[in-house]
């Protein structure tokens, strides 16, 4: 496992989708969609980058070693909070 760089303080929030959900959405659109229509895939579940990193560390059994695996770096000027 290597160090992950987190921009800023890690409070930036993101919505992530499971790849199976994306594949299912594409399948439905491909077979039932209407040409010219717009379809959005998304979720209302958000998690901060830091929360996600900590959750992954918990899953991999290294949650008590954050300083070994997380490095906070200067935030990018164009990085949006959500």
**Helix, strand, coil percentages in the chain from 3-state DSSP, rounded to 5:** 35, 15, 50
Q: Which domain range does residue 64 map to?
A: 4-73
> What does the pLDDT read at residue 76?
84
> What does the pLDDT read at residue 3?
77
> Which ranges of the chain have pLDDT less than 70?
1
Please give the Cα distance from 22 to 74 (Å, whole number): 32
Answer whether residue 80 is part of any domain. no
> What does the pLDDT read at residue 78?
82
Answer whether residue 55 is part of any domain. yes
CB 73 within 8 A of CB 11: no
Answer whether residue 41 is part of any domain. yes
Domain count, the chain: 1
Answer whether residue 21 is part of any domain. yes
Q: Give the count of beta carbons closer than 10 Å to the beta carbon of residue 50.
A: 18
DSSP state letter for 34: -
Answer whether residue 38 is part of any domain. yes
Answer whether residue 78 is part of any domain. no
> What does the pLDDT read at residue 1?
63
């Amino acid at each position: 496992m290597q160090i992950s760089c987190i921009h800023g303080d890690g409070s930036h929030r993101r919505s992530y989708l499971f790849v199976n959900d994306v594949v299912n959405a594409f399948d439905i659109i491909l077979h039932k969609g209407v040409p010219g229509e717009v379809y959005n895939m998304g979720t209302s579940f958000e998690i901060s980058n830091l929360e996600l990193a900590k959750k992954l560390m918990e899953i991999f059994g290294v949650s008590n070693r954050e300083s070994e695996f997380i490095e906070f770096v200067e935030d990018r000027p164009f990085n949006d909070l959500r």
